[in-house]
Structure 1
Amino acid sequence: MTSATLPKELDGKVVTPADPRYRLLRSTYTTVARPALVVLPQTTTDVVAALRYARDSGLPIAVRSGGHGLSGRSSNDGGVVIDVSGLNEVRVLDRRTRLVRVGAGARWAEVARDLASAGLAISSGDHGNVGVGGLAIAGGVGWLVRDYGLTIDHVRAAEVVLADGRVVRTDAEHEPDLFWAVRGAGAGVGVVTAFEIEATELRDIAVAQLTLAADPDGSTLSRWAEHLAQAPRRLSTAAMLMSDGRRAVLSLTAVYAGPDTGRMRKAVAPLLEIGTLLDQRAHRVPYSGLVSTAHLHPNLGQQPANTTNGLLPTMTPDAARAITAAVTGPRPALLQLRSVGGAVNDVAADATAYSHRDSDVLVVGTVFPPGDRATLDRIWRPVGAHTRGAYANFESCPDAAAFRRFYPGPTGDRVLATWRHHDPDGIFRSALYPSELS
């Protein structure tokens, strides 16, 4: 495999193909992989040792928190996977300021559970098995997004192991360029091992689940977007638009950031009229019930898929028609729609490496086998013509062109400059974008 000697810090923390645990650790949610070994660090010092070993061995490096990344690049074939799941601390540092320390290896279900007793929550994606690290360095479009903003908008500091093995704390006053990149483009600067995040006061939430037949001309989507653009910020929605025979069906989850079901019903009421209502349910639950520990599972490559996405500053009638047509054609895709805007757009475009601060809708397109990337590209092309920019975490095939959609114009130039400064040999960059951004 390699002649490099494993450092003593890693004794008992390395899983090879001969280990019974390897089957549960080698892959990601979307991709079956075959790394030479998986390192399970328990401390930041272990991460430094794992990184040094991988560099000395000349092996490719992948960093994994939860393994839900759609690109599958949190594992690899023949390389070293640094799996930070052991760095899973969740601790309230200051209840008065709601400051929480969260290890990069924690799962968001664990974070929600552990903060519930303090009456706190962090908006953090929509599935409890997602790892903190991968989401909190890219964006974080969660169930509370219009009220809370992105997860990165509340990161107040981070601990990072750089490519040369140095461990640095970065915040607005210390290593500010690094702090800028960690919030939106952190995968290319090093291994982020922990975050300090400002949580929000929240215990229970109100949730409505609606199923509607979507009008073929796209008017259902237009009405959805029009309502969300002027709805109370406490209301955020995520929807799946899918084929049901010859018609499109919209399965919509609306989350009201608070326990008042009366206010939630008033905020949701206009959504009952956007299409033909097929089913509806409403209930009040703890936030930890929505991002649930029931979601926790090993990742075995069980969900192969091809996914891409784009952001819409507004939902135009033409965009709504194109999105609806994508799920009703001869080879339909699954389309997800997420309301953004609100608090997301309060942040200046140059404040973080996520610069898309003028968009109201995130559209995500997915095809499953036997559909392939070419299938997705054909279906997506009419939709993508209406988008401007994209979100790095919902792209299964990141390349140089995708990089410029994630980080357009001067933002992309600054991201690359920061990556090259902190990782001049490109060991992290090459794992993300092999040879394309060298």
Structure 2
Amino acid sequence: MKDQKFNYSSLKDLRADLSEIDFKLPLTENTEILSKEIKIENSIIPNRVAIHPMEGADSNPDGTPSDLTRRRYKRFANGGAGLIWMEAIAVDDAGRANKSQLYLKEDNLAEFKDLIEFINKESRVNPYVVAQLTHSGRFGENNIIAFRDKDLDPVSIAENDFHIITDSELDQLQLNYLKAAELAAEAGFDAVDIKSCHRYLLSSLLAAFDRKGKYGGSYKNRTRFLRETIKKVKENVDIDITVRLNIYDAIPGGWATDKNGEPELGESAKLIKDLESLGAKMINVTASTPYLKPHVNRPYDKGGYKPPEHPLRGVQRLLELTKFTRDNLNQTLVLGTGFSWLRQYGANAAAGMIAAGWTDLAGFGRQAFAYPDFVNDIFEKGEMDKSKVCISCSKCAELKAAKKKAGCVIRDQEIYLPIYRELQQEKKADKLEAVSN
């Protein structure tokens, strides 16, 4: 398995490399199970394929969906997925990643209600739609952090330009999440995601071992914000609750991670069970943070960053974390992660994992940017078109990280190639300026 790039012309070729790393992934040629509906609370998800939350960084300045935002969700809706997990939606202005991130508030509720109606109108399957509620924390414009972090500080905040959020501010933030959940229900979303991943603010609290006060130190305190926010929403809002969760951080000494950065999943297993007992209806699996270790949550084989492992190892990690989550739950559904790098064989892995009980649904992120109608092709043709799949170049992630409008530079060139070229010119100019100085 020397080739770091995707180089499989058949399932047989893929199985050979899976065997080489002793990964018993249940691949299947029969993808019919992906078309089966599944019940969640009092709703029906019409099939087992989901669109992961993929930020386009293209909202209007007031947080409302722009024409480009609506274009993206029209493509997702037309594509046939049974679940659309909408990209990050800030719960307050201070928590926005940038002024192009969606932000749901009383003043723009009508625009979000219109977007949900638009999605339902454009889809043939009546998709289940999740609102991902977020506070960007250290990765937002306001550099709000839960604690100093030797690994993440250098890539997220400037010295003396940050604010360590207080316990009283966190108390108020719980109420902001509650208000956002109320608005999401009014807008017509089927569920809210109390997002706790990728070391944004809520995710970072899970790793706040050295923080003083009621939100740091013990397991009870580090999980307090997430647990109490879920309770508030459940008691006050008629909407399903979901969580996109870092199963572990892959950062030395981080959440569910040992001092060497390896998984230590005892607390993670406990939290997964606690979330189920609190009434969470679905857990969306992920890990680490793209700002420090992008290969962990987004295996890829092209781009400027060189992953320290074969991408298939990254796929293995995510799919095994998905199975781990499923094994620790009874009723709560699991949305699996890690399929896009497999290109046209992602559907075969998804179907096999569902049939084997490794997951309940399969989520695709970058794949949906590149190939928004991939679900229709799976159901109508029995397979994905290899000429349309995501090639895992991570150019979409480069755009998002640079706070540019993000989408597929390769498959959606008319919109995103000019933006990417502009970014490359800016980087070149910055490099020349640095040399001249």
TM-score normalised according to structure 1 size: 0.28
* Structure having the larger proportion of residues in helix: 2
TM-score normalised according to structure 2 size: 0.28
* Structure having the larger proportion of residues in strand: 1
